[in-house]
Amino acid sequence: MVMIYIVTYIVAALILIASALVFIFKDVLHIAVALSTVFLINSVLFLILQQPILAVIQLFIMIGGVSTYLFVGVAAASYSNFKYTNYIALVGLSIVIFSAITYGAYSTSTITQAGTSNSINTFSSNSIASTFNSSYSIISFYIIGIMLFSIAITAILLLNRLRSV
């Protein structure tokens, strides 16, 4: 059992390194190799989850996609002579988005397997669901929904008008 944990941690570190190499490499050929490594390690994770058929299907489908990316990337090599990845923005945005997603899910029953630690943060899904007890909060969410819907309609109208200018 401990062995599975160790293997899972190693494979998780490898898939994170391989997916970071997609943005670090300069050549499209190397990028495609790194992406195919990501797919291969993802299939290993599927094997750890005891789904061998899905691992093989996923590997076959994704390798077809990677080969197409390889052809297009090599063919477009003459059009790729510019610095295309902002590494500071990449690292910063990754940390911010990961923190935002993880903070909302942390202390829920899916991660802690206990489900009783709602008081750790106020943005967990259990804590947000517990605020829906009164009818006033439901009404406020209706109003927010109507506002967002009208904003979406207005954005579509503005885009249509900008296109005609």
Partner 1 sequence: MFGIFLLLSFALFSLGIAGIAASRHFVVMILSVEILLVGSSLLALSSYAYIATGQILVLLFAIWSIAALEVIALVVFYRYLAKLEVSMNVTKLMKYKER
The contact set with partner 1 (CB under 8 A) reads 4-5, 8-9, 12, 15-16, 19-20, 22-23, 28, 31, 35, 38-39, 42, 45-46, 49-51, 54, 57-58, 61-62, 64-65, 68-69, 72-73, 75-76, 79-82, 84-87, 89-95, 97-98, 101-102, 105, 110-113
Minimal distance, residue 160 CB to partner 1, in Å: 16
Structure tokens at 13: 């570190």
> Do the Cβ atoms of 73 and 29 come closer than 8 Å?
yes
Residue closer to partner 1 by CB (options 111, 153) is 111
Phi, psi of 148 (to 5 degrees): -65, -40
Minimal distance, residue 156 CB to partner 1, in Å: 20
Going by C-alpha positions, the residue among 79, 45, 76 that lies closest to residue 59 is 45
Structure tokens at 56: 């093989």
Distance, CA of 66 to CA of 28 (rounded, Å): 11
- Positive or negative, the CA dihedral 98, 100, 103, 105 is negative
Residue closer to partner 1 by CB (options 102, 126) is 102
Residue closer to partner 1 by CB (options 79, 136) is 79
Residue closer to partner 1 by CB (options 99, 150) is 99
Minimal distance, residue 65 CB to partner 1, in Å: 5
> Do the Cβ atoms of 1 and 41 come closer than 8 Å?
no
Minimal distance, residue 5 CB to partner 1, in Å: 7
Residue closer to partner 1 by CB (options 4, 143) is 4
Residue type, 132: F
Task: Tally the residues of the chain.
Answer: 165
Minimal distance, residue 159 CB to partner 1, in Å: 14
